[in-house]
Structure 1
Amino acid sequence: MATFSKTGFKTINYNSFRPRYPPSFYEILSNYSGNKIGNSLDIGCGTGIATYDLLNISDNVEGVDLSPSMIKTCNDLIKERCESLGISDFKRISFNVGDLDNLDTLTEGKYDLIVGAQCLHWSKNFDQLFKKIYKLLKPNGVFAYWYYVDPIVTNASGKNDLQTLEKAKQIYFKYMYDDENLVGPHWEQPGRSIIKNYYKEIDDKIPSMFKDVKINNYEVDLKNFKKPTEGEDLVLVKENINIDQLFNYVSTYSGLHNYLEANPESKVIEDYANELKSETGWTEDTSIDLVWNTGYTLVRK
């Protein structure tokens, strides 16, 4: 999480290139909650990618994040994002600097819904976090957390040639994880290992005081590819996009940011792009479909 808090981290790029969570997922949250959602809290809210859309299912929403630059981006976007949602009362949403491992300034028993989007793997003490979340929730309140990791190319210009798609996946993993001279060693741990392991370490820590536990994981299988299912999975898909959008997304990785700080002369994204195009025959005109591995967990107080 420290990487996203650095002053040199480009939060506008993060906000622009990260995928948005679809309306179908907020329907999952709303249906699971079952009751009217008055107050919601988004911990580790980043640039508010999830926070604003919570206004569609909640009367009031608060976001907290450790990074002052992320919070500044959130506050700068309030008017624009609220108006895009058809919301005129900007006071329904607020953002403040706060650490997901130190939520003591928040009001206990206030929230109908607390969410952690793409952030729980940064916590240093899951037992403590679950206990604090429990205290912050109203009776029957819901804690929902979710993640996504590693976009997989499932189609290129209408072709799903398995050999080429597997080659593209192999090159991605080489640059992001497998080659010790590239990005791999620069991920902050254990966070990245937790998210790559589909949050199992976190789910195993869910205390018995929570009930109605629902865990869903979706993993891309190129050999027997099936799209994620709306209403069941967290569906993160971008179809018919320019290949450069893949490189723009990868450019938001904290591991890449750390690598470039240590190797400022490196052109690792350019090298990745050139090798991918060379080995697959893809060009700037190639349109691709990206599907992310995802998962979510819902629990009730």
Structure 2
Amino acid sequence: MEGSNYQVIRKYELDTWTRCSSSYNETWATLTNETLPLLISKTNIGGNVTVLDIGCGAGNSTSKISETGAKVIGIDFSQKMIDEANSAYQSIVFKPSDAENIPLEDNSIDVVIANFVVHHFAEPNKVFKEIYRVLKPNGKFAFAVWGANEEQSSLGSFFQAFANHHEMSELPHGPLFGITAFETYNKLITDANLKNFKLEKLETNWNMDSLNPLINGCWDWGNLHLFPEDKQKDIKDDLIKNCESFKKGKSYSFPHSAMIGYAEK
């Protein structure tokens, strides 16, 4: 990837997730947390285990990992995300850092977790090589990315509503967003000298008592606050209609899928 493309993607991602920092733990984190128990169990995270949480966001995932008794460090390239994490979880270490240049020594970490962040990396090859560098021999790496786009029902409801009123190209999208092919991730793993790669699909649900996590998350992520108020209202009205089929009593349950990858040093 050319440096200029890398810089464009990086700025794009940084602007997007910095914008989402204040609402993240109440919006997207309530979905991405669904994969954490599996990542934790598959990598045997527990007491006396050192863990690096890459793309920790506002710290919710790092806190969940810390509850196992592990010693965990969270890093994120957005200073505002780190500020939110430090404010919410003061007993955990968080560092502002690019994943391409992890501020840790060689062979210093037992487990690296990257929960719904791999598809946002501008240079994933560099990140996977950094993960290899900081892992101890036989250390474990686990990540989660979105499954196929058509299997993300909450986002699908939003995309349909948005497309009724605006060009889809206006929305953020990571370089590997929606990529589910084993070969794509296996090459990243192999090029980084990691081994024993496995990729599996996880079916999950995003459950919410109201549509606020979805609406607020999409508005921050897509920067819809900048749209004219009448267009925002039209998109929101269509989104609410699209969500009716996922209503369970007074709550909502949206089926989702994720791809879960595992490897070792």
Q: Same fold (TM over 0.5)?
A: yes
Aligned to 1:59: 70
Say yes or no: does 1:271 pair with 2:234: yes
| Structure 1 position 203, deviation (Å) | 4.0
Change (3 A) 1:281 1:57: closer
Instruction: Determine if contact 1:30/1:57 at 8 Å carries over to the other structure.
Output: no
Aligned to 2:216: 248
What is the letter of the counterpart of residue 121 of structure 1? Answer: H
Instruction: Determine if contact 1:71/1:96 at 8 Å carries over to the other structure.
Output: yes
| Structure 1 position 95, deviation (Å) | 0.5
RMSD of aligned alpha carbons:
3.2
In structure 1, how many angstroms separate the alpha carbons of the residues matched to 2:60 and 2:46? 24
| Structure 1 position 245, deviation (Å) | 4.0
Instruction: Determine if contact 2:56/2:62 at 8 Å carries over to the other structure.
Output: yes
Change (3 A) 1:273 1:287: farther
Alignment match of 1:75 (pick from 55, 76, 86): 86
Post-superposition Cα deviations, 1:214-248, rounded to whole Å, max 9, x if no partner, equal: 21124xxxxxxxxx3xxxxxx34315x22344323
Change (3 A) 1:268 1:63: farther
| Structure 1 position 12, deviation (Å) | 2.1
Matched residue of 2:51: which SS? strand
What is the letter of the counterpart of residue 234 of structure 2? Answer: D
Aligned to 1:160: none
Instruction: Determine if contact 2:59/2:89 at 8 Å carries over to the other structure.
Output: no
What is the letter of the counterpart of residue 41 of structure 2? Answer: S
Say yes or no: does 1:196 pair with 2:178: yes
Instruction: Determine if contact 1:14/1:252 at 8 Å carries over to the other structure.
Output: no
In structure 1, how many angstroms separate the alpha carbons of the residues matched to 2:124 and 2:42? 26
In structure 2, how many angstroms separate the alpha carbons of the residues matched to 1:27 and 1:281? 30
Aligned to 2:98: 99
After TM superposition, list the pairs within 5 Å mapping 1:221-232 onto structure 2. 228=203
Q: How many residues align?
A: 245
In structure 1, how many angstroms separate the alpha carbons of the residues matched to 2:129 and 2:243? 49
Instruction: Determine if contact 2:196/2:263 at 8 Å carries over to the other structure.
Output: yes
Alignment match of 2:169 (pick from 185, 196, 208): 185
In structure 1, how many angstroms separate the alpha carbons of the residues matched to 2:48 and 2:196? 18
Say yes or no: does 1:172 pair with 2:166: no
Aligned to 2:190: 207
What is the letter of the counterpart of residue 177 of structure 2? Answer: I
In structure 1, how many angstroms separate the alpha carbons of the residues matched to 2:100 and 2:144? 17
What is the letter of the counterpart of residue 96 of structure 1? Answer: K
Instruction: Determine if contact 2:35/2:144 at 8 Å carries over to the other structure.
Output: no
Normalising by structure 1, we get a TM-score of: 0.69
| Structure 1 position 288, deviation (Å) | 2.2
What is the letter of the counterpart of residue 71 of structure 2? Answer: N
Q: Normalized per residue, which structure has more helix? A: 2
Q: Percent identity?
A: 19
Matched residue of 1:109: which SS? coil
Instruction: Determine if contact 2:124/2:188 at 8 Å carries over to the other structure.
Output: yes
After TM superposition, list the pairs within 5 Å mapping 1:88-167 onto structure 2. 90=91, 93-103=92-102, 105-148=103-146, 151-152=152-153
In structure 1, how many angstroms separate the alpha carbons of the residues matched to 2:180 and 2:42? 23
In structure 2, how many angstroms separate the alpha carbons of the residues matched to 1:58 and 1:109? 21
Change (3 A) 1:299 1:13: same
Aligned to 1:163: none
Gaps of 5+ in 2: 1-12
